[in-house]
Amino acid sequence: MSQDFMIGELAARTGCKVQTIRYYEEIGVMPPAVRADNNRRMYDDSHLMRLTFIRHSRELGFSLDDIRSLLALADQPDRPCGEVDEIACNHLNEVERKIASLKVMESELRRMISHCAGGTVSDCRIIKVLADHDLCKEHSK
């Protein structure tokens, strides 16, 4: 049997802010809550499971559009999961691209820091490189 609870309890159970829950309802990734006689939003276990899915997906970096698609697919359990795989693979490719970009940034930051002689700011290699992007380009050639 499903238990009903208010938005504050749903927020506490999922670690999601009340405003975010309302936003998810507004954009249609969360079904609207049932209204009690006092007009308060009331949620049940299906809302809890859906919001948990959304939160976990967001923590993994999925966009709201991807989450919307994944939820639509999850609502059709007899469909093949090829589309789900495609969404996940596309997201993984984007994560890998971001990691590669972050590694380039890490390398450049390490290089800048290693070339700092520890003198005064007027002679600081980090300040000079940040002020003149061509100095970064010279190193990457």
Q: Is the dihedral of CA 61, 92, 86, 75 positive or negative?
A: negative
Residue 127's pLDDT is what? 83
pLDDT for 132:
78
Q: Which tokens in the block code for residue 58?
A: 């967001």
119 pairs with which residues across the strands?
none
Q: How confident is the model over 63-88, as pLDDT tens digits?
A: 999 999 999 999 999 999 999 999 99
Extents of the domains making up the chain? 1-61
Given a contact cutoff of 8 angstroms between Cβ atoms, the answer to whether 53 and 71 are in contact is yes
Contact 8, 18 (CB under 8 A): yes
pTM: 0.77
Helices 64-74 and 82-114: crossing angle in degrees, nearest 10, is 150
pLDDT of residue 97: 97
Structural fold of domain 1-61: Multidrug-efflux Transporter Regulator; Chain: A; Domain 2 (1.10.1660)
Q: Using 70 as the pLDDT threshold, list the residues of the chain that sit under it.
A: 1-2, 135-141
Which backbone phi and psi does 85 adopt, to 5 degrees? -60, -40
